[in-house]
Amino acid sequence: MVLDEIPGFWAVVPAGGAGTRLWPLSRSRAPKFLHDLTGSGRSLLEQTHDRLAPLAGERVLVVTGEAHRAAVRDQLAMLPEDAVVAEPSARDSMAAIGLAAALLERRGAEVMGSFAADHVIAEPERFAASVAAAVAAARDGWLVTIGIEPTFASSAFGYIREGEELPGHPAARRVVEFVEKPSVAVAEEYLATGQYRWNAGMFVVRPSVLLDLLAEQDPDFAATLRTIAAEPDRLGELWESLPKIAIDHAVAEPAAAAGKVATIPGGFGWDDVGDFDSLATLLGGADTCSVLGDPALTQLIDASGIVVPGSGRTVAVIGLDDIVVVDTPDALLVTTRARAQEVKNVVAALKQKGRTDLV
C-alpha cells in the first residue's frame, strides 16, 4: 500500500517527557524518544517521523527541549532547519502544541496533527488511514482526537467517551467527555459499555481553531503564543509567562463540553511503552525472554522477561521469571515486570542523593 500525502497537512511532534520509568535507558539528557526501544534500529522519534513523512512530506514540526535540539536534528537530519523548534523550558503540552499551532497558522497550514515522539504503532498504514479521516473532519472545523481501541482495562490512560455519529464523516463520532485515568474496576465498566477509547493525546485540528478554542478559555495564553510566532526573538522573554497545563485540560475538555470535539477510531496497535513491563509485552509477551540489544551478549538459563545488554558486557541470568535486567555503562537495574512502575522511585531517590549524573 502506497500512502498518499495529505495536502495542507502538517505533522507536529512534541518530543518531550522524561520517561523516568524506563530508567536507566531513558535519562533526562537522553529521554525515551531518542532511543531505539524496539530493536528496529530506529529510535522512537525516527519511527514517529517514518510514520508521518508519507502523509506530511517535509511539513513536519518537532517541538523539543533546548537540551535535545541537537540530538533531534541529528536523528532527523533530512528535515529543514526550521523544522525543529526548541522550548526554553518544559511548560507542558498546551504551550508546546500551542506554539506549533501559532507557528503553523502563520505558515498557512490548513490542518495540523500532533503525535508524541515516544509512542509505538504496529500498523502504520491503519494509522495513516485514521489520520486521513481525522484531517477530513478537522477541515470542517472540529477538534479531532484519535481514540485508541482499548485492548485491556488499563488504569494508566485517560479515556474518551464517544457519542453520536458525526454527519458527513462516517468513521467519526462526537466526544461526550474526556475522563481522567480510572481505577481498573472503573476501566472495566468503561470497556463493557463499548463507548470508551484511550486518550493517546493525538489531536488533529486547524491551527486557528485550536488557538481560538484556547482563547475562549485563556485569551492571554493564545495571544502570547501568536505574539511569539510573529516575533520569534521574543520567545525567551515570553515563554516563562505561559501557564503549565496539559492540552487536555486547557482545550480538549472544555471544547468537548461545548460539543466541538470529534473522535476517529484508532485500531493500529498503539503502545506508549510506559515502563519495562509494557516494553516486555511489546517485544515478546509472556514466557519468553526478550533481549533488546545483541543476544550474543546474554547467557540465559530458565529466564523470562526482558534483558537489555546495553553496555557491551555479558549478562547472565539464571532461574528468574518475568525479570527485568537493564545494563547500561553507568547504572544497572534489576527488577520484575510486576514492579516495573517503581523504577521512578529509584530515579527520585538518586535525585535526592544528588546523583543527577545518573538520572
Residue ranges that bind its own copies, judged by CB under 8 A: 24, 299, 301-302, 313-320, 323, 325, 327, 329-336, 338-339, 342-343, 345-346, 349-350, 355, 358
What is the smallest separation between the CB atom of 222 and its own copies, expressed in angstroms?
43
Q: Measure the CA–CA gap between 213 and 188, rounded to whole angstroms.
A: 32
The answer to whether 209 and 297 have CB atoms below 8 angstroms apart is no
Q: Which is nearer to its own copies, 2 or 301 (CB)?
A: 301
Residue 27, helix vs strand vs coil: coil
The DSSP line for 51-114 is: HHHHHHTT-EEEEEEGGGHHHHHHHTTTS-GGGEEEESS--HHHHHHHHHHHHHHHHT-SEEEE
Task: Point out which residues pair with 101 in neighbouring strands.
Answer: none
Q: Which three cell numbers stand for residue 70?
A: 541537537
CA atoms within 13 A on the CB side of 294: 8
> Could you give phi then psi for residue 45, rounded to 5 degrees?
-60, -45
Q: Which three cell numbers stand for residue 109?
A: 497550514
> Could you give phi then psi for residue 274, rounded to 5 degrees?
-70, -30
Q: Which is nearer to its own copies, 77 or 318 (CB)?
A: 318
What is the smallest separation between the CB atom of 152 and its own copies, expressed in angstroms?
22
Query: Do the bridges between strand 270-271 and strand 111-114 make them parallel or antiparallel, or are there none, so unpaired?
Result: unpaired
CA 188, distance to chain mean position in Å, is 24
Q: Which is nearer to its own copies, 281 or 328 (CB)?
A: 328
Q: What is the DSSP letter of 252?
A: I
Q: Which is nearer to its own copies, 285 or 295 (CB)?
A: 295
What is the smallest separation between the CB atom of 347 and its own copies, expressed in angstroms?
9
Q: Which is nearer to its own copies, 272 or 277 (CB)?
A: 277
Q: Which is nearer to its own copies, 55 or 289 (CB)?
A: 289
Q: Measure the CA–CA gap between 304 and 54, rounded to whole angstroms.
A: 37
What is the smallest separation between the CB atom of 20 and its own copies, expressed in angstroms?
12
What is the smallest separation between the CB atom of 38 and its own copies, expressed in angstroms?
23
Q: Which is nearer to its own copies, 97 or 325 (CB)?
A: 325
